[in-house]
């Protein structure tokens, strides 16, 4: 009995085992037919690598953009699957490529976000192209990425330097002054933006009274301000682009040197007069202008809800960088929604390319070169309830960066 009983137990266990295996096999087969996404990666963790500036001249952007991305994913159903890996871009192309290699080849991330400056973005985009890795650029508005260096795997979610500078040139000419002094940080974005101002002004009969290209990280602008002081004829406007931290010093010293008092305004591209900059620059920034795609006072529902939600989530003010981080984050969640949660890059790319949405910035979509179309505004720094804030004073309409021969970055061939 004992022996038989033992055998019975063994037989039962074996039968149970076989039944269980059969059931599991059937379930697996059924599962692969009924819910293909589960078997193909819809449940696996989604690794997102962030290469953003946490030091240097664009330090104000890094943490904010990261929080924007985190907020977008926090609102989605993927928030428990997401793992963020954060790297400091140090605004150095070589460092950025090294970080991208680490993230892609060692950490095996699914998606990369960043970096922010034009030259670093181009370097990482070229690397991601070779690895067929999805890259979402928060800033990184190098027009070449929308043109001859475009990539199927890269999306310029924020803007290009062209889309947030060139549309404001004619407005500046008509409203601020026809004699212009150009100043730009000495790298591709600074020189490109000054180039578009120069081209636009010369085409319309304006005068370029001087140009200066201080190195990135310049803290002492006296030598350049003395050039503006001595420029003849007297400029009616100073325009171009300096990195955000450099803009603070330039603006403070500009007022110190009496140029603000002389009534010569500054207009800078890329929305450098953001709240962080205004807090550090203080009164000298009041009355100055910038060109960008968003401002906190945009009244549409998507912006108002986003601002309220984000401020509760992160306990920090919304800035341009937060918005761009959020928009890049929603590109990921949108893409995942379309692929059933599968982070497969080929499917994500196809999905994101078709995206049209209304976000905090208003209507947006991607062109065939994967460069975003957005509304561009002229903002002026005004005092609102005792605090300085960049206020939209002119809507320049929807803007994009063409990826054909007419575009600033040449012909895009995917």
Q: In what order do the strands lie in the sheet with 111-113?
A: 82-88, 46-52, 111-113, 134-137, 154-156
**Interaction of residue 255 with another protein, rule CB under 8 A:** yes
Identify the residue among 174, 226, 383, 384 touching another protein (CB under 8 A). Answer: 226
Identify the residue among 25, 31, 215, 368 touching another protein (CB under 8 A). Answer: 215
Can you spell out the DSSP letters for 8-53? HHHHHHHHHHHHHHHHHHHHHHHHHHH-HHIIIIISS-EEEEEEE-
Nearer CB in complex with another protein: 60/339: 60
- Residue 83: CB minimum distance to another protein, A: 23
Identify the residue among 256, 286, 302, 350 touching another protein (CB under 8 A). Answer: 256
**Interaction of residue 223 with another protein, rule CB under 8 A:** yes
Reduce the DSSP state of residue 292 to 3 states and report it.
Answer: strand
Give which of 367, 390, 364, 368 is closest to 379, Cα–Cα.
Answer: 390
**Cα separations in angstroms, 389 against 221, 274, 290, 395:** 24, 8, 12, 17
Query: In a 10 Å sphere around its CB, with 0-12 CB exposed, 13-18 middle and 19+ buried, how is residue 252 labelled?
Result: middle
- Using CB under 8 A as the binding rule, the residues of this chain from 262 to 291 that contact another protein are 276-277, 279-282
**Interaction of residue 257 with another protein, rule CB under 8 A:** yes
Strand partners, 82: 46
Candidates 105-113, 136-144, 166-174, 225-233; binding stretch for another protein (CB under 8 A)? 225-233
Structural tokens at position 322: 């937060």
β-pairing, 46-52 vs 82-88, is parallel
Candidates 53-61, 152-160, 289-297, 403-411; binding stretch for another protein (CB under 8 A)? 53-61
Nearer CB in complex with another protein: 141/214: 214
- Residue 379: CB minimum distance to another protein, A: 20
Nearer CB in complex with another protein: 169/264: 264
In angstroms, rounded to a whole number, what is the distance separating the alpha carbons of residues 234 and 242?
21
Identify the residue among 63, 72, 288, 321 touching another protein (CB under 8 A). Answer: 63
**Interaction of residue 356 with another protein, rule CB under 8 A:** no
Identify the residue among 41, 56, 287, 340 touching another protein (CB under 8 A). Answer: 56
Structural tokens at position 226: 């003395």
Q: Which residues bind another protein (CB under 8 A)?
A: 54-56, 59-60, 62-63, 186, 212-215, 217-220, 222-224, 226-227, 229-230, 245, 248-249, 252-253, 255-258, 261, 276-277, 279-282
């Amino acid at each position: 009995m004992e022996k038989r009983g033992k055998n019975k137990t063994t037989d039962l266990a074996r039968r149970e085992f076989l039944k269980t295996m059969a059931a599991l096999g059937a379930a697996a087969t059924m599962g692969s037919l009924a819910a293909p996404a589960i078997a193909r990666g819809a449940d696996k963790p989604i690794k997102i690598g962030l290469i953003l500036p946490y030091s240097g001249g664009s330090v104000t952007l890094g943490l904010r953009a990261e929080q924007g991305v985190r907020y977008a994913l926090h609102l989605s159903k993927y928030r428990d699957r997401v793992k963020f890996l954060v790297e400091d871009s140090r605004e150095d192309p070589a460092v950025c490529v090294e970080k991208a290699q680490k993230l892609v080849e060692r950490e095996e991330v699914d998606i990369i976000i960043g970096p922010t400056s034009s030259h670093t973005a181009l370097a990482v985009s070229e690397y991601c192209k070779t690895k067929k890795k999805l890259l979402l650029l928060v800033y990184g508005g190098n027009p070449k990425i929308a043109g001859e260096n475009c990539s199927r795997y890269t999306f310029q979610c924020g803007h290009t330097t062209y889309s947030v500078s060139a549309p404001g040139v004619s407005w500046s000419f008509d409203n601020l002054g026809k004699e212009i002094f150009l100043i730009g940080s000495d790298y591709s974005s600074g020189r490109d933006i000054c180039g578009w101002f120069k081209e636009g002004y010369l085409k319309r009969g304006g005068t370029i009274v001087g140009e200066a290209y201080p190195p990135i990280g310049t803290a002492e602008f006296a030598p350049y301000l003395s050039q503006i002081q001595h420029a003849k004829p007297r400029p009616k406007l100073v325009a171009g682009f300096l990195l955000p931290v450099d803009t603070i010093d330039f603006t403070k010293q500009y007022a110190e040197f009496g140029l603000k008092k002389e009534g010569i305004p500054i207009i800078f591209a890329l929305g450098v007069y953001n709240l962080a900059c205004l807090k550090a620059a203080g009164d000298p920034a009041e009355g100055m202008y910038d060109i960008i795609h968003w401002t906190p006072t945009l009244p549409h529902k998507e912006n108002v809800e986003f601002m309220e939600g984000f401020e509760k989530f992160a306990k920090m003010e919304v800035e341009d960088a937060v918005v761009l981080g959020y928009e890049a984050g929603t590109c990921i969640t949108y893409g995942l929604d379309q692929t059933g949660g599968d982070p497969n890059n080929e499917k994500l790319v196809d999905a994101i390319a078709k995206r049209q949405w209304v976000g905090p910035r208003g209507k947006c979509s991607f062109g065939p070169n994967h460069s975003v179309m957005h509304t561009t505004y002229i903002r002026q720094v005004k005092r609102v309830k005792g605090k300085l804030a960049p206020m939209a004073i002119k809507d320049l309409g929807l803007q994009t960066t063409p990826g054909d021969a007419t575009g600033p970055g040449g012909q895009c061939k995917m």
